[in-house]
Each structure stands twice: as structure tokens, then as C-alpha cells.
Amino acid sequence: MNVTIVDYKSGNISSVINSFKEVANDKVTIEVTSDVNKIKSSDKIVLPGQGSFKSCIDALNKIKGLRDTLSEFAITNKKPLFGICVGLQMFADIGYEETETKGLGWISGKVSKIDNQGGKFKLPHIGWNEINIVKDSKIFKDIENNSHMYFVHSYEFVPNDKKVISATTDYSTKVVCSVEKENIFGTQFHPEKSDKFGLKIIDNFISL
């Protein structure tokens, strides 16, 4: 089996690569590429994302055919895809960071700034926070409720259909931090930086 980490030249993905390679441990091939042909033939895809919603969408659009290839992979062919941080946020229809930007539209909803109650809560939301698992998700196998995960973000994904939410975290409000819709998975937190529980989530995705 091979798992492809999509390298679309947006932000720092070294930690994502390191963590997947650590977990894969030679059982699974980890590819890092933006080559659409390689992506098409992958078994699973990881879509990382750092920086702003707009910068990630712009970077994705710059690579010819990438957006369509990803949609074909996840929506038409229903193969497993895992979005991390802005990678998850891009599933939405629209994002409001910097300026209004159209997302991939895979899971209906919007990405807006966390309501920090007029400055009562600092932004970015940086550090370790507990996740409240609200639905059984395949990537949470053997993950206890209230496990700590590492977060760094100021914006949150607000899906229209609440049934896709698999976990939330408390920061000013109940922030959506994990979604699962059929073959599409995403976490707002960084499993690659969340120590052994984070690595377990990566392992769960690889083992799907």
C-alpha cells in the first residue's frame, strides 16, 4: 500500500512526513509529491496545510490538475483522505481568512475566526487541549475520550451538517476539531505533533 502526502508548496510539512514515516515503519510506502499521476494511483492521501486558508487554496490551485485530481480521488472514487489543520479547513465551501475564498466544497460549511469573546481568549489557540469525542470515528480507534492533542490555529471549520463532527475541543466555544464523512477524515489539531496519541491516529488512518 502507498500513502501520499500532498506537497503543494504551502508551509512546512517536514513534521507530517517524519511522523507518517515513523508509523509506516516500512510496512507502507510514504510518498511525498504534487505529481497528479502519482496521486491518482495512491491508496490513501494526506492533505496537510499551514498558513492561511487563502494561501493554501492559492497554492493548491497553482498546481495544474491537482484540485480536480483530489476531488476525483475523494469524492468520485471515495478513497481515504486525511486533511490536517488547514488541510481539513479546505474541505469547506468557503473560508474567511484574509479575504473570502472558495474552498474545495467537499463538506458543506464555512471556516471563520474563533469567537474569542472580544479578546478574553488569546489567539492563536496554541497548545495542548482535550478532545471530546462525539462520534465513533475510525481514526479514533484506541484513543480515549479527553486525550490531549496539539493545536495551533485561529480559524475553525463550521460544518452545516453537525453529523460529520467526530470531536470538539473547548476554547472559548466548542470548536470542531475532527470530522469524518464517509471516506474523508480531518483533524484541526496536529496528530504529527501530538506525541503517542497523535501517532496512534496516524496509525489508525494508515491501517484503514
Partner 1 sequence: MLKNRIIPCLDVKNGRVVKGINFVDLKDAGDPVEQAKIYSDGGADEICFLDITASNENRETIYDVVEKTSKKCFVPLTVGGGIRSVKDINKLLNCGADKVSINTAAVENSKVVVDSSKKFGSQCIVVAIDAKKNGDKWEVFTHGGRNNSGIDALEYAEQMERNGAGELLVTSMDRDGTQVGYDIDLMSKISSKVNIPVIASGGVGNLDHLVDGIKLGKASAVLAASIFHYGKHSVKEAKDYLDSKGIPVRI
Give the three-class secondary structure for 111. strand
Check residue 203 for interaction with partner 1 (CB under 8 A).
Answer: no
**Per-residue interface string for the shown chain with partner 1, residues 39-78, x marking contact by CB under 8 A:** -----------xxx--x-----------------------
Can you tell me which of 5, 45, 198, 205 binds partner 1, judged by CB under 8 A? 198
- Of 11, 61, 84, 71, nearest to 39 by C-alpha is 71
Nearest residue (CB) to partner 1, 108 versus 172:
172
Residue 85 annotated in active site: yes
Residue 148 annotated in active site: no
Per annotation, catalytic residue among 31, 56, 85, 125: 85
Nearest residue (CB) to partner 1, 85 versus 184:
85
CA dihedral (108, 114, 118, 119) in degrees, to 10, reads -170
Can you tell me which of 7, 43, 58, 195 binds partner 1, judged by CB under 8 A? 195
**Per-residue interface string for the shown chain with partner 1, residues 114-133, x marking contact by CB under 8 A:** --x--x--xxxxxxxxx---
Question: Candidates 16-24, 35-43, 104-112, 179-187 — which segment interacts with partner 1 by CB under 8 A?
Answer: 16-24
* DSSP conformation letters of 55-74: HHHHHHHHSTTHHHHHHIII
Q: H-type helices in 25-168, by residue range?
A: 36-40, 53-62, 66-71, 86-89
Nearest residue (CB) to partner 1, 112 versus 116:
116
Q: How far apart are CA 119 and CA 52, in angstroms?
A: 20
Q: How far apart are CA 112 and CA 96, in angstroms?
A: 5
